[in-house]
Structure 1
C-alpha cells in the first residue's frame, strides 16, 4: 500500500487476530527465503523499490 495513505475500515474486533495474521505472513515469507529469524530477512531477500503500483497488465487507469 502507499506510504502515508489513510483509509477507514469498519471495526472487526480485537486487533490481536490481525496482528497474528500479519505474523503468519512474516513467518511464511521468512520460510520462502530461508531466513530462520526476522533479522536475517534483509540478507536473504532482494528488496525492490516500487515506483508504480498500478498493474498495467489489466490496462491503464482512465485518467492516465
Structure 2
C-alpha cells in the first residue's frame, strides 16, 4: 500500500463517467508503440537508450482552467 503522504502529480480534475477505461489504455499503448517505432526501439526497455528525455516544468493547458 502506498503511503498516505503521496500526492497526485499534475492538476486533478473530476470529469463525468464516460465508460470503460479500455479505450484510454489502448490509446496510451498505441502512443507508446508509435514512439518506440519512431526511435527504433524494439522493446520498451530500449526507449531510454534511444532518446533524450526533456523535463518540462512550465506548461499551460487551459482546457480545465476555471476561466472557461
Same fold by TM (over 0.5)? yes
RMSD: 1.6
- Among candidates 19, 26, 33, match of residue 13 of structure 1: 19
Q: RCO greater where, 1 or 2, for CA within 8 Å and sep 6 or more?
A: 2
- After superposition, where does 1:27-46 map in structure 2 within 5 Å? 27-46=33-52
State the distance in 1 between where 2:21 and 2:57 align. Answer: 30
Structure having the larger proportion of residues in helix: 1
Structure 2 unaligned runs (5+)? Answer: 1-8, 61-68
Deviation at 1:50? 1.2
Deviation track 1:5-45 (CA, whole Å, cap 9, x = no partner) reads 20112211111111011100000011111111111111111
How many residues were matched structurally?
53
Q: Could you list the runs of 4 or more consecutive aligned residues of structure 1 that deviate by over 6 angstroms after TM superposition? A: none
TM-score (norm 2): 0.69
